[in-house]
C-alpha cells in the first residue's frame, strides 16, 4: 500500500501523515493568505523542509491553493477534509470520555469506618452526603482509591449497583413583592412550623429573606437558589423554599426539569 493510500484510508490518529497534514491545514487556515513555513514548522514540531513537502502534496491534491511565494489558501475541498477528520476526533473524544474515562471516574465519599486503599466499600446517601463503609454488604459498592479513617473523605471508583435513596421534596411558599405586602403577607409562625419539617431553608428575593428572618430562621441557601435547591433535592434533602412571585416561575421550571416533586402552600398571615 502506498503512503498516499495509507494516509487516506486510515484514521487521523492511526496515520502520522494524516495527523501532520491535518495540523498543517489548520495552521494554513489560521494564517492565510501570508503563510510562513518556518512558523508552521515551529508550531507543530517538524522541519520547514517537511512543511514544504506537505504543502506541495496538499496543493497537488486540491486541498490548498498556492497564490505565490509564501501565499496559500485552504480550498473548499480542504475544509471538507478538515471537517471530516475533526468529526472523527470528536467521536473518539466522546468514546474515550464516556466509555473509557467514565469507567474510572473517582468520586468522593465520607468514610463511616476506617477504610484501606483497594478495599471494597458499601455506599449509602445520608443527609445529602455520599458515605462509604468497609465491606460489600450494601446494594451499591465501590473500591477505595485512598486510605481513610472514620469521618474523613475517601476516594472511590469502580461503582457497582445503585445507591438507594429517595429524591427530596420541595415546599414552596410564594410571597408578593413589597408593594403588595412582601414579607408581611406571610405568617412567621407558619414559616417556623414548615421549616421544622424540612432539612433546608432556601430564599429567593429580599422579601423572602425578610420573611425568614421574621420567623427567626436564617436561610441555608440565599444565592444560586435555583441550582442549589435542585441539587439538594436530588441528594435526598427536603427543602422549604420562600420565593417572591417574580422568581417563582423560573424556580419551578428548574425543579420540573430535574423531576423534583414540589408543592406550593399558603402561608398567609
User: Where do the domains of the chain lie?
Assistant: 3-101, 105-161, 170-265
Residue 197 has pLDDT above 70, yes or no: yes
Q: Cell for 98?
A: 464516556
pLDDT category, 228, cuts 50, 70, 90? very high
pLDDT in tens, 168-187: 999 999 999 999 999 999 99
Q: Cell for 195?
A: 421549616
Please provide the average confidence, as pLDDT, over all residues in the chain: 88
pLDDT category, 7, cuts 50, 70, 90? very low
pLDDT in tens, 84-107: 888 888 877 776 666 555 555 788
Cα diameter, the chain? 85
pLDDT in tens, 126-173: 888 999 999 998 889 999 999 999 999 999 998 888 888 888 999 999
Residue 124 has pLDDT above 50, yes or no: yes
What is residue 10's predicted lDDT score, i.e. its pLDDT?
46
- Domain 170-265 CATH class label: alpha beta
Alpha-carbon span 113 to 131, nearest angstrom: 10
Q: What percent of the chain has pLDDT over 70?
A: 91
Residue 6 has pLDDT above 60, yes or no: no
User: Between 228 and 16, where is the model more confident?
Assistant: 228
Q: Which overall architecture, per CATH, does domain 3-101 show?
A: Orthogonal Bundle (1.10)
What is residue 8's predicted lDDT score, i.e. its pLDDT?
47
What is residue 17's predicted lDDT score, i.e. its pLDDT?
82
Q: Could you tell me where the DSSP H helices lie in the chain? A: 3-9, 16-31, 37-44, 48-60, 76-95, 188-196, 206-214, 225-234, 245-257
pLDDT in tens, 35-79: 888 999 998 888 999 999 999 999 999 999 998 888 899 999 999
What is residue 98's predicted lDDT score, i.e. its pLDDT?
61
Amino acid at each position: 500500500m502506498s503512503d498516499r493510500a495509507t494516509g487516506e484510508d486510515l484514521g487521523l490518529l492511526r496515520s502520522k501523515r494524516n495527523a501532520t497534514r491535518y495540523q498543517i491545514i489548520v495552521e494554513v487556515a489560521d494564517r492565510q493568505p501570508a503563510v510562513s513555513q518556518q512558523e508552521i514548522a515551529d508550531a507543530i514540531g517538524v522541519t520547514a523542509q517537511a512543511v514544504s513537502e506537505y504543502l506541495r502534496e496538499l496543493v497537488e491534491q486540491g486541498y490548498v491553493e498556492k497564490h505565490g511565494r509564501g501565499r496559500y489558501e485552504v480550498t473548499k475541498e480542504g475544509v471538507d477534509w478538515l471537517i471530516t477528520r475533526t468529526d472523527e476526533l470528536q467521536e473518539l473524544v466522546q468514546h474515550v470520555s464516556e466509555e473509557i474515562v467514565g469507567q474510572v471516574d473517582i468520586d468522593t465519599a465520607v468514610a463511616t469506618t476506617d477504610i484501606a486503599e483497594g478495599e471494597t466499600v458499601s455506599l449509602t446517601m445520608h443527609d445529602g452526603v455520599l458515605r462509604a463503609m468497609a465491606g460489600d454488604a450494601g446494594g451499591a459498592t465501590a473500591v477505595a482509591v485512598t486510605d481513610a479513617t472514620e469521618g474523613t473523605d475517601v476516594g472511590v471508583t469502580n461503582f457497582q449497583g445503585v445507591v438507594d435513596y429517595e429524591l427530596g421534596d420541595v415546599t414552596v411558599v410564594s410571597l408578593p413583592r413589597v408593594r403588595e405586602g412582601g414579607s408581611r403577607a406571610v405568617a412567621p409562625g407558619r414559616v417556623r412550623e414548615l421549616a421544622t419539617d424540612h432539612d433546608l431553608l432556601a430564599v429567593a428575593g429580599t422579601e423572602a429573606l425578610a420573611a425568614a428572618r421574621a420567623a427567626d430562621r436564617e436561610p441555608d441557601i440565599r444565592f444560586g437558589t435555583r441550582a442549589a435547591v435542585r441539587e439538594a433535592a436530588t441528594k435526598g434533602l427536603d427543602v422549604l423554599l420562600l420565593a417572591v412571585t417574580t422568581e417563582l416561575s423560573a424556580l419551578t421550571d428548574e425543579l420540573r426539569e430535574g423531576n423534583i416533586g414540589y408543592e406550593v402552600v399558603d402561608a398567609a398571615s
